[in-house]
Amino acid sequence: MEVYIDGKFHPKAEAKVSVFDHGYLYGDGIFEGIRLYQGCVFRLEEHLERLEMSAKAICLTLPWSRKEISDIVCESCRRNGLTDGYIRLVISRGVGDLGLSPKNCAKPSVVCIADTINLYPEVLYASGMKIITAPTRRISPAALPPMIKSLNYLNNILAKIEAQQHGYHECLMLNDQGYVAECTGDNVFLISKGRLITPAPYSGALAGITRQVALEIAASLRIPVVETNVTRYDVWNADECFLTGTAAEVIPVTEVDARQIGDGKPGPLTAAIRAEFRKKASREGTMIR
């Protein structure tokens, strides 16, 4: 395996960044998680647009064009002989000193890792996942806009730890008002009385790429979509529930906080959306060859 770092590819064991990199020291940077399906980098342009918007939001000027970053992603996949996989594209503020100020960082640094990923056990896609609500709340949008995919995920990691301590793979995270925001790395969707319901973008959730794909699929299937405030009560009484994310794709949820969702099995609309997602995955994006 080879990892791209600032213009060169390095063997995995030799892929290193400086301890003075502000991404390492302070989480000062941004990233994108991207999927490769049958040689197609799924929705690469959308991912790179979001990367650029995150960079602008943290006042980080990117010295590379979108085409240059796209080429880095595709070459990383080719170098590692991948046709299916997961890409982690990371841009940090770069090497500086021990002060917080980004003014001491001469130039940003880019890292691209192309490998495989298995976020959840495959059996859960067929049987559904059980989750709980974590005590840790999502960071307020007034403190850090959730649209920024920053390198500091400690808030989400704490919630993930809480879920794992109780034997669960995943958990709901609430915002500071007590409404459902998202899971630790996935967006949340409900099916209720034939409608697709998901927390609004201002709830504290990331505007996920796979989330947007699910909304587009729902429109094509003529499923009414509602983006609004969502409570745990709404989740408990939903007919179906599923999560979306680049790594997770579309995964059904059959129990939340010990309350069975629907009949306790993955629902038909969830299955339909997942099937349509799989059709889109290998044809909507950028071919690496």
Catalytic residues: 149
Residue 202 is classified by DSSP as: G
Write the DSSP symbol of residue 114: E
Nearest to 62 by CA among 19, 109, 98: 109
Order of strands, sheet of 109-115, starting from the edge strand that comes earlier in the sequence: 8-11, 2-5, 109-115, 85-92, 29-37, 40-42, 285-287
**Furthest-apart CA atoms within the chain: distance in Å:** 57
CA atoms within 13 A of residue 62's CA, in its CB half-sphere: 23
Tell me whether residue 134 is exposed, middle or buried, using C-beta atoms within 10 angstroms of its C-beta: 0 to 12, 13 to 18, 19 or more. buried
Nearest residue to 112 via CA among 275, 288, 281: 288
C-alpha 194 chain-centroid distance: 26
- Residue 101 has a CB neighbour count (10 Å cut-off) of 9
| Terminal Cα distance for the chain, rounded | 19
Q: Minimal CA–CA distance to 190: which of 141, 156, 223, 157?
A: 223
How far is the C-alpha of 246 from the C-alpha of 37, rounded, in Å?
A: 12
Q: How far apart are CA 170 and CA 191, in angstroms?
A: 19
Single out the residue of 96, 106, 93 nearest to residue 54, CA to CA: 93
